[in-house]
Amino acid sequence: MNGYGRLFVGILFAFVFSWAALILVPLNQVGNLMPLEDQTSGDLNPPALSGLAKRGSQVYAANGCASCHTQQVRSESGGSDIARQWGARQTVARDYLYHSNPNLGSMRLGPDLANLGVERPDLNVNAGPKKKYDAAGLHQLFYAPRSIKGSSHPSYSFLYEKREIKGANAEVSLILPVGFETEEGKEVVPSEDAKALVAYLLSLNRMYALPEAPVKP
Amino acid sequence: MNGSKDVQLEGYGDENLDRSLQGPLSLLFVCSALWLVVSSLLGAVAFWQLKFPGLIDFKAGIQTPYVGWFFDFIHQALNYGRAVAATKSVMIYGWLLQGFLGVAIWLTGRLTKKMICKTGNYFLLGAIALWNIGVLVGLMGVFSGEASGFSGFDFPKYAAAILFTAYAFIGLGMGMRFAKKSCSVPTPSEWYLIGAIFWFPWFFGVAYYFVFCKVVFGVMPALVHAWYIGGLEVLVLGSLAISILYYLVPSILGLALNRVHSAKSAFWFFAFLGAWSGVRHLVGGPLPAWMISSSVVAGVLLLIPGTIIANNQMVPLWSNWCKVKSTPVLWYLATGGVSLLVWISLEAMMSLRGVSAALRFSYFEMGVSAVFEYAFLSMVLFGSIYAILPTLTGKELPCCVKCCSKCQFWWGFCGVITFFTGTFFAGTFMGLGINFAPMAFVATTNLASPFFWLSVAGGIMVLLANLIFVKNVVATVLSACCESNKEGCCS
């Protein structure tokens, strides 16, 4: 074998070594995790995602939400995530069992969303009375973010349709605050993508305890 | 590239060899330069939305059917999240990878001294066209909301498949020319070049299978993505840049490369540590600690080969400082060599848990990316293209191009330093604010605001430099085409 042959074997080995250690071994360690049953409630943790929420996960990824929001709570020694009440414990591999894309995120220009579907103080100010985000509030944020005081969220109004009111559609049309209402005789309705995105965000709940990540009392 | 004499690259054989690549390489360099400008403009649109989030929300005001549809599409396509994904992907696959592929094809010709036959040239042109179709299709996919959501691997499945097919032709051509080489001892430049030629399809192929074929769920796709990005950054793009540095610096200075033994050990360190270093981007993430820790260790140890490589470039440059001062190509290469070490140091620092707790997820990450993509890779690529263009055309660069290249260097150099300074302070204050739990989250972005404008100023300077570059490349290629047409007519 000449120098080129040895070089090829070396670069192949460097690749295979890292592939085996960082992909193959983890595949056996975290690739085969199963949900666990809660001893008191009998629920399986993490709960499975609905079909709509799974589609919402794709909408979340496709719109680059992860370039502003993370979905990972770090340990108390790794940052202030728990002190900010973004979660009760560090997130672990099992929490993402049903996600085809865990959307871990790369920047925090907005707050962490790992537990958006849980009742807690305002995410942005880390204080105030506990509240739970609801579908109407999220739709308002996506369609008319400027209607929410202090919000620098981009608008996703393209996920909504403005149309003539046809029959009684009050349960799906958006309720917008004063100054942001639509014209007389028109309503704003979310598309399937918008509904899926909201369903996904409201399903984000990693507050249950796991053996590898217990919740401190 | 001073007034009298251009870069000295002769003495490596046949000038016909370089001229035979004129068509494919001109196409590659022009396309990559255009994609660089597209990426810069997309980045500007994205960055601007951070301060003016309603910048492109035209929908409310426009009622005309067709015009309304157009502005609605602009709003969808350039929305912050999609614009960021498009910027990163076009930067990597349109500019950096494509530009470095051009450099790699030229370098393969120089190192193997094998010409490409006419049929091979047509195949190469076809593969380059296919690559650009892949980037365009991928960009349209991101714009229309089909991005994968994995930063740097955002193009949809079908666009990634086109890129892989195009690369198969290009990579196969380069591999075959090395296979025919009779010499048995590879040079340092060849180690990195051959490594990158093979590493790219291997990393890309594994990432494609695991991310797009839905064979794994949970955190595994994120792990594969981090591993792929580490491989792409260090082993593919980094190796290609180092390969050209090892070739061009001694060639231009007219020196033989010494310290070959240290260069060889640096290569093997670089190869093994680089392949392990990608997962460090997930510090604090939901993965078993051993994976992240081993990757952090690899990232920190990369300082050893990084120092050796930078030293191998900087010592001859420093000892020939007079020549460096009068040769702008060497300004670019020297900046790239130093920036490699700066980038590895910043990444090593970022992967430490204490620093990561404060700076991870802040603007600081944007600054580190700018050092890697612009100060290191792009600077090496600019210098290489300015060095290669005269060998393709057989003539020195036009005077206006030489002057503009100096101007471009200073705009780009000052721009990237200004951008990094802005993101450094903005990221530090923002990160410390986020890490101080009693502070409201919305207030943390206000802390970064004053420095944000510094980054904007840096970004504008970089954009200007990129516009000068595309003008230079297009002007040089067009003038060469016109002259060859005239020669064809005369003969």
Could you read off the pLDDT of A40-61 as tens digits, one per residue?
888 888 999 999 999 999 999 9
A107 contacts on B by Cβ (under 8 Å): 361-362, 365
User: pLDDT at position B267, please?
Assistant: 93
Query: What's the confidence (pLDDT) of residue B429?
Result: 92
Cross-chain residue pair B80–A154, CB shorter than 8 Å: yes
Higher-scoring residue by pLDDT: A168, B4: A168
pLDDT digits (tens, 9 = 90+) for A154-171: 999 889 888 888 766 555
pLDDT tops 60 at residue B55: yes
pLDDT confidence of residue A14? 95
If you average pLDDT over residues B427-435, what whole number do you get?
A: 91
Q: Which amino acid is at B201?
A: P
Residue with tokens 């100054």: A179
> pLDDT confidence of B64, banded at 50, 70, 90?
low
pTM: 0.92
pLDDT at B490 over 70: no
Task: Indicate which of B88, B148, B219, B452 best probes the interface with A, i.e. most A CBs within 10 Å of its own CB.
Answer: B219
Q: Cα distance from A171 to chain B (closest Cα, Å)?
A: 23
Predicted confidence (pLDDT) at residue B8 exceeds the cutoff of 60: no
pLDDT at A149 (0 to 100): 81
Nearest to A15 among B178, B199, B442 (CB): B199
CB-based contact (8 Å) between A99 and chain B? yes
Q: Which residue has the higher pLDDT, B64 or A5?
A: A5
Average pLDDT over residues A2-19: 92
Q: Does B54 touch chain A (CB under 8 A)?
A: yes
Q: Answer yes or no: is pLDDT of A17 > 60.
A: yes
Q: What local confidence, expressed as pLDDT, does residue B61 receive?
A: 52
pLDDT confidence bin for B11, thresholds 50/70/90: very low
Structure tokens at B407: 């101007």
Cβ pair B330, B383 in contact under 8 A: yes
**Highest-pLDDT range among A185-194, B52-61, B121-130:** B121-130
C-alpha span between A113 and A110 (Å, rounded): 9
Closest alpha carbon to A207 in A47, A31, A5, A15: A47
What tokens appear for B11 in the block?
């003495």
Residue B62's pLDDT is: 52
The shortest C-alpha distance from A140 to chain B (Å) reads 15
Inter-chain CB proximity A3 and B436 less than 8 Å? no
CB contact under 8 A, B146 and A150: no
Does B294 contact chain A (CB < 8 Å)?
Answer: yes
ipTM of the complex: 0.92
Is residue A141 left, alpha or beta, with left meaning phi > 0 and alpha meaning psi from -120 to 50? alpha
Residues of B (174-203) whose Cβ lies below 8 Å from A: 178, 181, 184-186, 190-191, 194-195, 198-199, 202-203
User: If you average pLDDT over every residue of chain A, what do you get?
Assistant: 87
Average pLDDT over residues B225-243: 95
Please, what's the b/e burial string for B56-81 (b: 16 or more CB within 10 A of its CB; e: otherwise)? bbbbeeeeeeeeeeebeebbbbbbbb
Please check whether residue B215 touches A, CB under 8 A. Answer: no
Give, rounded to a whole angstrom, the gap between the first and last alpha carbons of chain A: 64
CA distance B115 to B351: 45
Which residue in the block uniquely carries the two structure tokens 């074997």? A9
Model confidence at B6: pLDDT above 50: no
pLDDT of residue A19: 95
Distances from the Cα of A143 to the Cα of A161, A172, A175, B59, angstroms? 10, 14, 11, 11
Side chain identity at B308, as an amino acid letter? I
Residues 77-96 of A with CB under 8 A from B: 77-80, 83-84, 90-96
B residues 424-483 closer than 8 Å to A (CB): 434-442, 445
Predicted local distance difference test score (pLDDT) of residue B4: 36
Q: In chain B, what percentage of residues exceed pLDDT 70?
A: 93
- pLDDT of B357: 86
DSSP code at position A160: E
pLDDT above 50 (res B1):
no
pLDDT tens, residue by residue, A175-198: 788 777 787 778 888 999 999 999
Structure tokens at B303: 């300082």
Query: By the CB < 8 Å criterion, does A35 face chain B?
Result: no
Domain residue spans in chain B?
9-181
pLDDT at B489 (0 to 100)? 54
Question: What pLDDT, on a 0 to 100 scale, did the predictor assign at position B234?
Answer: 94
For helices B80-89 and B22-51, give the axis angle rounded to 10 degrees: 150
B191 to each of A8, B301, B376, how far by Cα in Å? 9, 20, 19
| Residues 338 through 357 of chain B touching chain A, CB cutoff 8 Å | 353, 356-357
B206 touches chain A (CB under 8 A): yes
Tell me which chain B residues have a C-beta less than 8 angstroms from the C-beta of A90: 286
Task: Count other C-beta atoms under 10 Å from residue A166's C-beta.
Answer: 7
Q: Which residue has the tokens 């393969």?
A: B108
- Identify which of B161, B126, B242 has the alpha carbon closest to the alpha carbon of residue B194: B242
B52 to A107, B56, B130, B136, B285: CA distances (angstroms): 18, 9, 37, 28, 31
pLDDT tens string B139-166? 999 999 999 999 999 999 999 999 999 9
Please, which residues 198-217 of chain A have a Cβ atom closer than 8 Å to chain B?
A: none
Return the residue of A nearest to B228 by Cα.
A19
Closest CB from B79, B235, B357 relative to A63: B79
How many beta-carbon pairs below 8 A join chains A and B?
Answer: 240
Looking at residue A86, the DSSP 8-state letter turns out to be S
pLDDT mean across residues, chain B: 88
A28 to each of A23, B67, B293, B339, B439, how far by Cα in Å? 9, 53, 18, 38, 41
User: How far is B289 from chain A, CA to nearest CA, in Å?
Assistant: 11
Q: Which of residues 381-410 of B touch A (CB under 8 A)?
A: none
d(CA B128, CA A214): 54
The C-alpha atoms of residue B99 and residue B236 are separated, in whole angstroms, by 13
Which residue of A69, A99, A106 is the best one to mutate when testing the B interface, meaning the one whose CB has the most B CBs within 10 A? Answer: A106
Quick check: A5 pLDDT over 70?
Answer: yes
SS3 of B197, please? helix
| Average pLDDT score over residue span A104-127 | 84
Give the residue-averaged pLDDT of A69-88: 89
Amino acid, single-letter form, for residue B379: M
Give the model's pLDDT for residue B2: 39
Helix (H) / strand (E) element for A44: namely: strand A44-45
When pLDDT is cut at 50, 70 and 90, the band that residue B169 belongs to is very high
Q: Which residues of chain B does A150 touch, with a Cβ-Cβ cutoff of 8 Å? A: 442
H helices of chain A, in order, are 3-19, 25-29, 51-62, 135-143, 192-202
Q: Where are the alpha helices (DSSP H) in B219-302?
A: 220-230, 239-253, 260-276, 289-301
